[in-house]
Chain A
Amino acid sequence: MADLRRLFRLSGKEPAPAEDIAAEFEAHLQMKADALVRSGFSPEAAQREAETRFGPLDRYALECRSIDQAERRERRRKERWTGILQDLRLAARGLLRAPAFTLTAVLVLATGIGLNATVFSVLRGVVMRPLALSSPDRLVALYSSNAAAGWPEFSVSAPDFLDWSRDAGSFQALVAWYEYEAAATGLGPAEQVPATAVTSGFAEVTGIRPVLGRVFVPAEFERGAPRVVLISHGTWSTRFGGTPDVLGKRWTLDGESREIIGVMPPGFTFPARKSDAWLPFQMPADVASQRGAHYLTVAGRLTDGATLDRARGEMVTLAGRLERDFPRTNTGWTVLLRPLLDDVVRDARPTLLLLMIGVGLLLLLASANVANLVLVRSVGRSAEVAVRSALGAGRGRLVWHGASEVLVLVAIGAVVAVPVALLGTELIRRLAPEGVPRIDEVRLDAPALVFTLGITALVAILVSLAPARRILRADLRSALSGPGARNVGSHRGLHRWLIAAETAVALALLAVAGVLIKSKERLESVDPGLDPSATLIASVSLPGARYPSSERIVQFQRALLARAAAVPGVESASLIFGLPLTGFGWSGSFTIDSVPVPDGVRQSAQVRVVSRDYFATQRIPIMAGRGFTSDDRRGSRPVVLVSATAARHYWPDGKPLGHFIRLGVRPGDDRPEGAIVGVVGDVRERGLDQDPRPIVYALSDQVAVDEVAIVLRTRIPPMTAAPELRRIVADLDPELPLTGLRTMADVVRDATGSQRFRAWLMGFFALLAAALAGLGVYGVISHIVAQRTREIGLRRALGASDGQVTREVIGAGMRDASLGAAAGLGIGWLITRQLSALLYQVTPGDPVVLALSTAIFLGVALLACWVPARRATRADPALVLRGE
């Protein structure tokens, strides 16, 4: 009977334990007394004797009871667990019987979970992970700041940095550095390696010790000290074989042989950029005169007691003092402080948060869809539930039984999500635009997966609530009394909510993606001011050790250009210091016609040094006067060109020609005076979304610069000219690396990389969302139509036309979808409004985008309603009415 009871899950009545034990004891006493009587006791004496020999009845009864109770508890627990396992098994078997449903639900869940784990991993790896330096929360980035002049955060000049280091009490140490590409020679072919020159605070600020060797000693920061270098772990293992005897070996960088004194730990970056060589930065002899030359990046480690606010106050006071002491260079300049981690991840954070919102919404959609699928299944199960309920299964068990299927689905979905997430992280790593910090180290991370699983579990609970609600409200009689009655009391309200919610989410994502895509399109159609087609670029930087004089530099560059221009297929060859859209270049202040600039007034322009044919090569128009000609040579009268914006800005009468300007090209330069001989077209050199800045162009023959980009305009596909260019450089100087070979079109493309990345990913998410929501609406409407088959059949038999029925089904669905659409547009607008910093010439509520996304989604919804509506009109009314 017990087994039978278990089989039907009936809660059988347990025998009352107290009575049971009493009866058992009573039987014993009787049998004992009987035996005693047989051996000659009187019945009364026998009874007494039996009780005596038995001992204290109550105590033993109590003991037995507590043992029995423990046993019952144990059994119940065990039965509960077997029940749960059995339900899970049942659920799994049920799912196997409905492969289409299972596959759909699992794929939908796996996509949602996998994408969330992916984006959360990236978010954690890039934005949230602390910097891999000792007590990274004490590290602060410091900038020079002159908001009025348009430089809210700017590099720091060497003299300012020295004053800060000396007087900033809140900091245990400050470090300044600049990053550059060094030519490494002597180990096979010449190559270019990322290098960083650091000041003496490097070791103390980073708190990192080399795995091998030592850090710099103070003497090595003195001018004329023996040349040393710290190398990266990667360089050690790939270039130096990873053996400990690397210490003391020498490495030639930019023509200078340096002793290797240490190897940094693997993965060390500071603060986030990979570098293969760290060198001591030796301050130039005339450093005191370079207060106007901002080129250092600065970070500091706060002392243990100091807060960021205190440090900020102190630095601002310090900057005020420097303003008073050095009015010519420091008027208007203060200091900006920010936690170093914030500084590193600043640009990546909004994009990643946006993506997180995107995938979060997708997960919501996925869950809603699965909830709906489960709901539809549970309706088909009403009869089964009713039968089990009638047989005595408790409500808890019934609810759990319904939920078990959801749990199995979510569990399988989570397993399938792992490869999805692995693939996703790999894809994001590959597709990420230039400059996303720490993206190389992003891995699918366990906490991210666990976090996502947690959310999913929550979702699962919510999802399983849908069938649970039905079970709790189920009316036994109506469910059992017949097939027709089974459809009574469907949850129309819940269905309407599902349609509206799914539409809202999908449309919100479509609107956000639409705005981002339009912004990207706008940006990509911006005229950069030059023609990037059929242009090959590469960089060459001449090490000072072997090219010590301007003559040597100019001689090399002229030879290079002459030979490059002669290559078949090359139309013209030129060079520029500060190639547009690469972030390179100096800005400098200047005087016009030797009129002194008043203190605190900033009269500055971007300084670019180009060869004669640069403007022809890049197809930048000459708008007034003339370009550089072969008469402008080394030794002839210095001449410069100004950009249209510079002309407009500094010569309101529009007549800059003939004026003289005197400007510093590099820190400590002798500021040659140049006559303005022409005005050229503007170039958006800072970024396509940035307005052109004033530019002054000097001639490379007259102002020698050792680090330039070569620009070739070709008649053949640009990259096919690359081998020849490489050969020419190797021929002129075998120790010179030619790097960064690519087309100018690539450079322009990279300039819109993050916009494209955002637009692509959000576009992808939005498409997924639209598909999911379409599937959801289709599922709901199909279900409603299926439930109303009899009613529809009846009405058609009574003369309703197919058109009427179709219109009605579609109308009901679209009414809910429209409600959701309105909400979705609102949500989309709210999200997009937070993004205005990422948008270019598009407003969050762009009407075209909103109209288009609404049209797209309502189209999808219409299709999703139409298909089931049509199915309803296809059924033969006679069959429908006769059947169930």
Chain B
Amino acid sequence: MTPLDLLQGTLDLLVLKALSWDTGHGYAVATWIRERSGEEFLVEEGALYPALHRLERRGWVESEWGLSENNRKAKYYRLTGKGRAQLRAEVSRWDRYVSAVGRVLRTAER
């Protein structure tokens, strides 16, 4: 199967979700998404960073420099309270979206 292109705006949602478990640097977020998605998405790892910076600008995540597990200097991102609320809203919107699309598609098959 060919990898999937990411839908517009979905990356932001995935990043928020990734950070909802724990503080992490960009590489960790990328790894987390790749593993959880079963490597289905075709996404350059670099594309993650504009998303992270955008989320930071909106005040949904905040960042701080720190040391990684193997002593490398890395920028760590953390979800803010506002970001958590945003994630909840996005998830529920995503669910509605998916189920609505699904209903339509199933109807068409009949």
B103 within 8 A of A: no
Whole-angstrom distance between the Cβ of A777 and the nearest chain B Cβ: 56
Most A CB within 10 A of own CB, among B31, B53, B70? B53
| Minimal Cβ-Cβ distance residue in B for A62 | B50
Does A286 belong to the interface (CB within 8 Å)? no
Whether A55 sits at the interface, judged by CB under 8 Å, is: yes
- Which B residues between 1 and 52 are near A, CB-CB below 8 angstroms? 25-27, 30-31, 44-47, 49-50
A41 contacts chain B at the CB level, 8 A cutoff: no
Is A54 an interface position by the 8 A CB rule? yes
- Contact status B50-A64, CB under 8 Å: yes
Set of chain A residues within 8 Å of B106, measured between Cβ atoms: none
B49 neighbours in A (Cβ, 8 Å): 21, 24-25, 28, 60, 63-64
B interface bracket (residues with beta carbon within 8 Å of A): 20 to 34
Assess whether A27 is in contact with B25, with CB atoms less than 8 Å apart.
Answer: yes
Check B70 against A55 for contact (C-beta < 8 Å): no
- Tell me if A28 and B27 are in contact (CB < 8 A): yes
Task: List residues of chain A with CB within 8 A of the CB of B72.
Answer: 27, 30-31
In the complex, residue of chain B having the shortest beta-carbon distance to the beta carbon of A69: B57
In angstroms, how far is the closest chain B Cβ from the Cβ of A46? 14
Interface centre among B27, B46, B56, B70 (most CB of A within 10 A): B46
- Whether A60 pairs with B73 at a CB distance below 8 angstroms is no
User: Which of B45, B56, B68 makes the CB contact (< 8 A) with A53?
Assistant: B45
B55 to chain A minimum Cβ distance, whole angstroms, is: 10
Q: Residue among A20, A55, A57, A70 with the most chain B CB within 10 A?
A: A55
User: In the complex, what residues of A have CB within 8 A of residue B68's CB?
Assistant: 27, 31
The answer to whether A55 and B73 have CB atoms under 8 Å apart is no
Interface string of A49-66 (1 = CB under 8 A from B): 000011111011001100
Does A716 make an interface contact (CB < 8 A)?
no
CA distance A852 to B25 in the complex (A): 86
A32 at the interface (CB under 8 A from B): yes
Expressed in whole angstroms, the minimum distance between the Cβ of B81 and any Cβ of chain A is 17
Using a CB-CB cutoff of 8 Å, which residues 1-38 of chain A contact chain B? 20-21, 23-25, 27-28, 30-32, 34-35
| Any B CB within 8 A of the CB of A68 | yes
For B91, the chain A residues whose CB sits under 8 A away are none
B residues 60-85 near A (Cβ < 8 Å) are: 68, 70, 72-75
Candidate in A21, A31, A34 with the most chain B CB atoms within 10 angstroms: A31
Confirm or deny: A71 has a beta carbon within 8 angstroms of a beta carbon on chain B. yes
* Chain B, Cβ-Cβ closest to A65: B53
B44:A54 contact, CB within 8 angstroms: yes
Q: Which residue of B lies closest to A50 (CB)?
A: B45
Shortest distance from the beta carbon of B64 to any chain A beta carbon, whole Å: 11
**Docked complex Cα distance between A57 and B70 (Å):** 23
Q: Could you pull out 9 A-B pairs where Cβ atoms are within 8 angstroms?
A: A24-B74, A28-B26, A31-B68, A34-B70, A54-B44, A54-B45, A55-B44, A60-B49, A67-B50
* 18 additional contacts (CB under 8 A) given A31-B27, A63-B50, A74-B57: A20-B75, A23-B75, A24-B49, A24-B75, A27-B73, A27-B75, A28-B26, A28-B30, A30-B72, A31-B72, A32-B27, A55-B45, A55-B46, A56-B46, A57-B46, A60-B47, A67-B57, A70-B57
Chain B interface residues toward A at CB < 8 A = 25-27, 30-31, 44-47, 49-50, 53-54, 56-57, 68, 70, 72-75
Closest 3 CB pairs of A and B: A55-B44, A71-B57, A55-B46
